[in-house]
């Protein structure tokens, strides 16, 4: 015991897990978020190929367009945290608020009916 104090290097306690870079792959929320990002970006490439009959590899790393890789990433993160930690946990509440903030810039198409009785508050139209 005195030797470890003198040398400055403390030995890990017996039975303690050692450090491994592969431990990242056992982190379910992180894997879900990265997988959702990769799927959303891949779908962008496939839809560009289907619509325009050309491969656009810039879509793999570019932002913008649908599906939104940002929204897919934070939504997958929130769901995975909810499944792992419980939907009543404060960590899920934090990720759910984060997902709603990131997903809020999404725009939906205009409503197909008459909007003469509409009130606009903070950029949103309320119809009565």
* SS3 category, 123: coil
In the prediction, which pLDDT does 101 show?
85
Tell me, yes or no, whether 100 lies in a domain.
Answer: yes
Domain range enclosing 34 = 25-106
- On whether the CB atoms of residues 113 and 103 are closer than 8 A, the answer is no
In the prediction, which pLDDT does 97 show?
92
In the prediction, which pLDDT does 112 show?
47
- 127: tokens are 């119809």
Tell me, yes or no, whether 18 lies in a domain.
Answer: no
How many domains are contained in the chain? Answer: 1
CA distance 59 to 67: 11
How many angstroms separate the Cα of 50 from the Cα of each of 43, 44, 53, 56?
10, 10, 5, 11
Tell me, yes or no, whether 31 lies in a domain.
Answer: yes
Task: Show the CA angle centred on residue 26, arms to residues 39 and 30, nearest 5°.
Answer: 40
pLDDT of the chain along its 128 residues, tens only?
555 455 556 666 776 667 778 878 888 999 999 999 999 888 888 887 787 887 777 666 666 667 778 889 999 999 999 999 999 999 999 999 998 888 766 555 555 444 555 556 556 655 55
Tell me, yes or no, whether 39 lies in a domain.
Answer: yes
Tell me, yes or no, whether 128 lies in a domain.
Answer: no
Tell me, yes or no, whether 98 lies in a domain.
Answer: yes
């Amino acid at each position: 015991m005195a030797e470890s104090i003198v040398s400055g290097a403390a030995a890990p306690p017996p039975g303690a897990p050692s450090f491994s870079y592969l431990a990242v792959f056992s982190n379910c929320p992180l894997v879900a978020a990265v997988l959702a990002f990769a799927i959303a970006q891949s779908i962008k490439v496939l839809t560009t190929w289907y619509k325009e009959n050309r491969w656009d590899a810039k879509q793999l790393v570019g932002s913008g367009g649908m599906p939104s890789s940002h929204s897919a990433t934070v939504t997958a993160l929130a769901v995975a945290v909810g499944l792992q930690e419980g939907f009543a946990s404060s960590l899920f509440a934090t990720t759910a608020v984060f997902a709603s903030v990131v997903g809020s810039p999404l725009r939906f198409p205009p409503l197909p009916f008459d909007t003469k009785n509409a009130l606009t508050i903070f950029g949103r139209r309320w119809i009565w």
